[in-house]
Structure 1
Amino acid sequence: MAMGPREGRVLHAMSIDDAYEVQRVLSSGSGGRTEVVTIDGFGPYLRKKIPSPLVDRRVWAALSECVGLRLPHVVATYETPDEFVVVCDFVPGDTLYEVVSAQGRLPVSEAVRIALEVCEAVEELHRRGIAHCDISPRNVLLAADGAHLIDLGIARPFGAEPSSETPNLGTHGFAAPEQYGFAPVDERTDVYAAARLLGFMLTGLEPGDAYRVALVDESVVPTPLRAVIERGSAFEPSARFQTIRDFACAVRESAKGAFSHGASQAREPSCEAADTFGAVGDEGDNCCGSAASSGIRVPAKKRRTAFVAASCIAAILIVLAVAIGYAALSDVLAEVGAGRDGGSVHQARDDHASSSDALPVDGEAPEAADRSSSDGLPPAGFSEEEMVFSKEDLVVAESSWRMSNGCISYVVALRNESKDMAVDYPAFNIVGRDSEGKIVSSEEQVLPRLNPGETMYFASIAGTGTVTPHSVDFLPIAPDDYQVHRAQSESAVFRVADVSATTDALGGTVFVGEVTWEGGERDEDAAGDALVMVALRDGAGKLIGGTMALASCPERGVPAGFQTLGEEMPDYASFEAYAYAW
C-alpha cells in the first residue's frame, strides 16, 4: 500500500528522533521529557518532548521569532505520533533551584539582578502575546551571562482558558490562581510567578507557611521589596502590577529603597545590646543578611559605638565609660568615607563638593591642606577644646527629587563642613509636604561616616507610595555627642573610570564602568565593597537624578567592574561618578 504524506512525515520525524543521542535526562513527567542530546557529533542541544494534547504550536512559532538572549533559541521542531518535539541550543549552568538549595537565600543585589533578567525574557514573550505560565526556580537557568528562562512546555497565548487536559498547569506555589480555572491567562499571570520567584530568592524558601513568615521578617526581606512581592502575587489579577515592565520598574525602585532599609536600622540604639559591647558584634545583625546585600553593612566596631546611646541604665554606664576613655576606643572605629571621580561623559567639578573629595580620571588625588595632616590628625594649632562640632557643620550641599512609580526618587549630597571632627552615621530627614505645607511623609536616612570636609552623594526612594507631595525638604539631623569625634585617618580614596551609559532590554538606562581603591584606609571588618554613585545633571549643571551600584573591590589597586540596575532616568546633559567604602 502506498504511503501517504502524513505517514511520510511521521517516518521522517521518527528517523530524526532516532538520530539524536541522549546524553542526560534532565526531567521527565506528565508534562513531557527534557533531555540533553547530541547529533552527529554536534551539540549539545536541549530537547523537549511534549505530549501532543498539551502543546500549543502558536507558542513555538512565536518563540522562533523572539530575539531575546534570555529565551531558548529554537534549532528545530518535529512531531511524532504522540509528541511535539522542540530542539533548542543548550546553555550550561545550574538552575536557580539548585543554587538556592546549595547556598540558601540570595543577597538582595543578586536576587534583584536575576529577577530583572527574568523580566527581560518574559517581556520578550509578552510582546508576542505569549504567557510563560511556569516561571519557577527549576525553569530559571543561571549561566555565565546571567539568567535564562527555559521550558515553555505549557506556555499559552494571552486569553487562553485552562484546559481540562492540563489540570496541574504550572508549578505549585508559583502558578497564579487563574491557571487553575479561575480566569484566562495573560501578562498578570507571569507577574504573579515572577513576584513569587523574587520571594523565593530572598527567603530561600518555596511558598508555604515558612515562606510567609520569612517574607514579613524585615531582617530577611527589606520592606520595600516585600511590598512589591505582595502586590505582584495578589490573588486578584486586577490587584497586581498590570505588566511585567511595571513589576520590573517597581523592583528597581524598591531595590534602591533597600539601601535606606538597611541604613536606617544602623542608627537605632538597643537596650538589649548595651550591657556588653561584644554582644552586638555578629555579622548576622546585618539587616539584609550578607555582605553583598543592598542594605548598608555596619561593621561590628561601628555598631558598638552606635549602641552606646541606648536608653537604659546599662547604656548610661557604658556612655560614661566611653566618655572617659574615648580616645582609647577611637582608634578602632571603622573608616567609611568618600572618593570622587568624574564620569566619562562629563567631568565637571561640583562647586558644592569639597576639593578634598575629588579625584580626576587618570589623575592624582588633590592636596588637602585645609583638611588634615598626612597622618590623619587635625592640623597643628588645634586643641581638644577648640575642636567643637556645630550642628551647622552638617549640611545638604545639593539635592534633587522626582516622582517615580508613586515614590519620591531623590539624590542628596550630605557634607561635613567641620575642619577637624568626623561624624559617625550622619543622617537627614526626607520630608514631603502638600500644597498647604502639611507633612504627608517623613523618613530618616542614615549614611556611613563623614570625615572633615567630605561630601557623600546618595540616591534612594522615600514616601508612602500613595501620596504625591507638592514639595520635599532634605533636613540634616544634628548628631548626638557620641557620634562626633576627632578624625583619626584619611578615608579610602577610589577612582571611577571608563563610565558609560547603555540601555537594557526593558528600556532602562544602565551605567557601567570600573572602580579602583587607590589610597586611604578602610575598616578591616568591612566587606571590601565600594558603593558607586552616578549623579546626573542638566545643561546648567543642576543635579536632577542619580543611581547607585555595589562593586566588590577588596584589594588596593585592583580595578573592579560595576553595573547599575537599569531604570528610567530623566533627560540629562552630563553625569559624574563617585565611590565610597561600603
Structure 2
Amino acid sequence: MQPPHDLPEKIGPYRVLGRLGEGGMGQVYLAASPSRRLVAVKMIRPELLDDPHWRARFRREVASARSVSGFYTAAVVDADPDAELPWLATQYIHGISLAEAVREKGPIPEQAACHLGAGLAEALIAIHRAEIVHRDLKPSNVLLAGDGPRVIDFGIARPLDARPLSRSTIVGTPAFMSPEQALGEAVTPASDVFSLGSTLVYAATGTAPFGTDRKTRGRIVHRAPDLTGLPDPLRGLVTLCLAKAPEERPTPEQVLTALSTLLDAHYGEEWLPSAVGELIGAQERTLAQLTAELTPPHE
C-alpha cells in the first residue's frame, strides 16, 4: 500500500488515504467514508475517457459487481459511473493479493491451497448465480484475508447471454485464461473453472501451469499443463479443471465438494500460513499509520 503522494484528495464522498494498486482500466485507492468506514475505490484513467467504449465498459463492471453477493467476493458500497472520472467503491478487505503473497513468501502450503480452492469455488458459485462469467480470475484478483479469500475486479466480466467478442478482441490475462478464451471463442462458467485450476497451480507451486511468455496462449490451447510440484491431493482435481474441453471440467459446486471432502479428511481449520499472516500484519500497521489522522487526539 502506497501512502499519500500526488493522490486525489477525495473521490466522491470518500477521502483518499493511499494507493492500493492499479490495472489496465484505472487506479485503486484506499479511502474512508464520512463515517470513517474504509473502502477500496477504483477510478478510471482520465486518458481512457475520450473513447466512450471505456465508460460503457466501466458501467458494465459496476453492474456486474453489484449483482454478485457472496462471502468470498467484495461487496459494492457505492459507485458513480457517470462522474467526470467514473469510480466504484467496494468493501475494503484486510488482506493481500495471492500474487503478492507468493512473490514475497513463495508457494502456499497444501492445506492453505485446499482452503483457497474451496473459497474460490464458492465465489464462482455466487458469480455464476448472478449469470456472470468473471473471465479474469488470477492471483492478482484474489485477496487473502484472515477469514478466507475474496475474488475482486469485474472489469472484463460478461453476462452469460452476451454475444461473443470478435476473435481480434481477446481480453484477459494469458497465463490464466481458458483455451476458448485464448481463441476468442464464447466463454461460459467452465472458463472460470479453468482459471481456478491455473490459479491453484500458481498458489501451490509458484508458477503458472502454461508459463508466462509470448507462447503461453499456444500452450494453453495445445499443450498439457506443467504440474511439477503440485501436491498429489490436488493433482487429480486440478487436472480436471484444466481439461481443454469445457464440458469435461467440473462445476464450481463439484470443485467445492471435492475440496471440502479433502479438508474434512486430512486437514484442520487453519487457513493462512504464518508467513502470509506476517505480510498482512505489516500492511495493517501501515494502514494504522494512514488512518491515525482520521481520529482526533481527544477521542
Which residue of structure 2 lines up, in the alignment, with residue 42 of structure 1? 36
Name 1:173's counterpart in structure 2: 175
Distance 1:33 1:90, change over 3 A: same
What's the CA shift for 1:169? 1.8
Q: Which residue of 2 aligns with 1:26?
A: 20
Q: How does 1:42-61 map to 2 (within 5 A)?
A: 42-50=36-44, 51-55=54-58, 57=60, 60-61=62-63
In the alignment, does 2:290 pair up with 1:549?
A: no
Instruction: Indicate the residue corresponding to 1:151 in structure 2.
Output: 153
Higher RCO (CA-CA < 8 Å; seq separation 6+): 2
Give the equivalent residue in structure 2 for 1:234: 243
Aligned equivalents of 2:95, 2:168: Cα separation in 1: 29
| Counterpart position of 2:194 | 192
Q: Distance in 2 between matches of 1:122 and 1:100?
A: 22
Task: Work out which of the residue numbers 231, 237, 241 in structure 2 matches 1:222.
Answer: 231
Displacement, 1:165? Answer: 11
How far does residue 18 in structure 1 lie from its aligned partner after superposition?
5.0
Secondary structure at the aligned position of 1:200 is classed as helix
Instruction: Using the TM superposition, give the Cα deviation of residue 149 of structure 1 relative to its aligned residue in structure 2, in angstroms.
Output: 1.0
Which stretches of structure 1, 4 residues or longer, exceed 6 Å deviation after superposition? 210-214
CA contact 2:197–2:238 (8 Å) conserved in 1: yes
Residues 223, 29 of structure 1: alpha-carbon distance in 2 compared, 3 angstrom cutoff = closer
The residue number in structure 2 matching 1:102 is 104
Distance in 1 separating the partners of 2:152 and 2:145: 12
What is the DSSP-based 3-state SS (H/G/I as helix, E as strand, rest coil) of the residue aligned with 1:55? helix
Amino acid at match of 2:58: V
Is the alpha carbon distance of 1:182 and 1:95 closer, same or farther for their aligned partners in structure 2, counting shifts above 3 Å? same
1:98 counterpart letter in structure 2: E
Q: Alpha-carbon deviations, 1:335-375, whole Å to 9, x = none?
A: xxxxxxxxxxxxxxxxxxxxxxxxxxxxxxxxxxxxxxxxx
Give the Cα separation in 2 of the matches to 1:176 and 1:234.
9
- TM-score, normalised on structure 1? 0.38
Map 1:108-507; keep pairs closer than 5 Å. 108-163=110-165, 167-180=169-182, 182-209=184-211, 215-217=226-228, 220-241=229-250, 243-252=251-260, 255=262
Q: Write the distance in 2 (CA, Å) between the matches of 1:166 and 1:141.
A: 31
RMSD: 3.2
Cα displacement (A) at 1:161? 3.8
Q: Are 2:97 and 2:142, in contact at CA under 8 Å, matched by a contact in 1?
A: yes
SS in 1 for 2:204: helix
How big is the shift at 1:71? 1.1
> 2:210 touches 2:225 (CA, 8 Å); kept in 1?
no
What is the distance in 1 between the residues matched to 2:121 and 2:189? Answer: 11
For residues 179 and 49 of structure 1, what CA distance do their matches in structure 2 show?
26
* Structure with the bigger percentage of helix: 2
- Aligned partners of 1:203 and 1:214 also within 8 Å: no
Distance in 2 of aligned mates of 1:166 and 1:137:
25
Q: CA deviation at 1:215?
A: 4.3
- How far has the Cα of 1:213 moved from its partner? 10
Give CA-to-partner distance per residue, 1:318-343, whole Å, 9 cap, x none.
Answer: xxxxxxxxxxxxxxxxxxxxxxxxxx
In the alignment, is the contact (CA less than 8 A) between 2:174 and 2:182 conserved in 1?
no
The 1:548–1:206 alpha-carbon spacing in structure 2 relative to 1, beyond 3 Å, is closer
Calculate percent identity across the aligned residue pairs.
28
Query: Secondary structure in 2 aligned to 1:36?
Result: strand
Q: Residues 96 and 141 of structure 1 are in contact (CA less than 8 Å); yes or no, is this contact kept in structure 2? A: yes
The 3 A distance-change label for structure 1 pair 128 and 166 is: farther
Question: What's the offset of the Cα at 1:99?
Answer: 1.0
Q: Specify whether residues 21 and 165 from structure 1 end up closer, same or farther in structure 2 by C-alpha distance, changes over 3 A only.
A: farther
How far apart, CA to CA, are the structure 1 residues paired with 2:168 and 2:17? 29
Give, in whole Å, the separation in 2 of the partners of 1:551 and 1:118. 16
Q: Distance in 2 between matches of 1:18 and 1:56?
A: 16
CA gap of 1:77–1:209, structure 2 versus 1, over 3 A, is closer
Write the distance in 2 (CA, Å) between the matches of 1:209 and 1:169. 18
Match for 1:45: what amino acid? V
Query: TM-score, normalising length from structure 2?
Result: 0.70
Does the C-alpha gap of structure 1 residues 163 and 21 become closer, same or farther in structure 2, counting only changes over 3 Å? farther
Secondary structure at the counterpart of residue 121 of structure 2? helix
**Deviation by residue 1:146-184 (Cα, 9 ceiling, x = unmatched):** 111111111111133454699452222112233345322
Q: Do the aligned partners of 2:209 and 2:226 also contact (CA within 8 Å) in 1?
A: no
Partner in structure 1 of residue 94 of structure 2: 92
Q: 1:43-102, CA deviations, whole angstroms, 9 ceiling, x for partnerless residues?
A: 321112343142353x64454354412211111121236654211111121111111112
Please state which structure has a larger fraction of its residues in strand: 1
What are the ranges of 5 or more consecutive residues in structure 2 without an aligned counterpart? 1-9, 45-53, 217-222, 271-299
